[in-house]
Amino acid sequence: MAGESALHDEGGTGQPILLLHGLMGSARTWGRHVSWLREHGHVFTFDAAGHGRPAPAQLTTEAFVEDLAAALAPFAEPWVVIGHSMGALHAWCLAAEHPEKVSALVLEDMAPDFRGRTAADWAAMISNWPQPFTTREDLFEFFGPVAGQYFLDSFEKRADGWYLHGDVDTFRDISEEWGGRHFWDQWASITVPALLIEGEFTITPDGQMRTMAERHPGAEYVRIEQAGHLVHDDQPEQYRKVVEAFLDGLG
């Protein structure tokens, strides 16, 4: 079944909780949060297609969501889905396309409308990264402590060092899709409780996450100070505090 082998059982009991990583990430990027999330349910992580495994034939959000839905098909109970960036988009699009699969959403630093933006310069920069990164210290020196850990958790480790775990063109085209369409309609169809978390130094277009919350009576918006795009790793204690309060409130 498509996607099934990319679903990882991280343990715990109770309501199923699914963690979805961002673009160029992996299931392992959630490793520092799994232990406390286990206190709230049975935790699973997921490796998106194109991230260490084959990408869909069509690089559309719908194709990634269907790959994810196939992995969840054996499970009858709906999931609390926690997503960062690309994972947040896939989370709410999963809720839109398969509402029976989702009981609540935690969405981190992602907005519905990036139209007009391009990933061409960003992809060119990635193509010039000095791969392989021979040591862990090389990664941290190049990316800094937070992003360095993210990529250390994500990259493929080979005998001579760490390499990007996917194709630059694939990552570019995933991002390029967001620059050519919006996902407001999918958001408008969602009725489950939702927590929207935005970093102070966000990558999202100004005001969009607040507008998402305003348009959804069951949504709460939280802005976390001194956090960049990787809110959960930039400010882990604040992230944990707001997520645990949300999960406790689900009853």
Q: Are 164 and 74 a contacting pair, CB within 8 Å?
A: no
- pTM summary value: 0.96
Per-residue confidence (pLDDT) for residue 248, from 0 to 100? 96
In a domain, 16, yes or no: yes
In a domain, 75, yes or no: yes
In a domain, 161, yes or no: no
The string of pLDDT tens digits covering residues 111-143 is 999 999 888 888 888 999 999 999 999 999 999
Give the Cα separation of 41 and 80 in Å (integer): 9
Tokens standing for residue 33? 């949060």
Per-residue confidence (pLDDT) for residue 1, from 0 to 100? 37
Tokens standing for residue 76? 């009858």
Tell me how many domains the chain contains. Answer: 1
In a domain, 198, yes or no: yes
Q: The domain containing residue 220 runs over which residues?
A: 7-114+181-249
Q: Any idea what the CATH number is for the domain that residue 71 is in?
A: 3.40.50.1820
Per-residue confidence (pLDDT) for residue 118, from 0 to 100? 82
In a domain, 41, yes or no: yes
In a domain, 132, yes or no: no
Per-residue confidence (pLDDT) for residue 4, from 0 to 100? 52
Q: Are 26 and 7 a contacting pair, CB within 8 Å?
A: no
Give the Cα separation of 200 and 223 in Å (integer): 6
In a domain, 190, yes or no: yes
In a domain, 127, yes or no: no
Tokens standing for residue 142? 């190049």
Instruction: Tell me the pLDDT of the chain (251 aa) as tens digits.
Output: 345 589 999 999 999 999 999 999 999 999 999 999 999 999 999 999 999 999 999 999 999 999 999 999 999 999 999 999 999 999 999 999 999 999 999 999 999 999 998 888 888 889 999 999 999 999 999 999 999 999 999 999 999 999 999 999 999 999 999 999 999 999 999 999 999 999 999 999 999 999 999 999 999 999 999 999 999 999 999 999 999 999 999 97
Residue found by looking up tokens 């790793």 in the block: 233
Q: How far is CA 22 from CA 50, 51, 74, 204, 215, in A?
A: 12, 10, 24, 14, 24
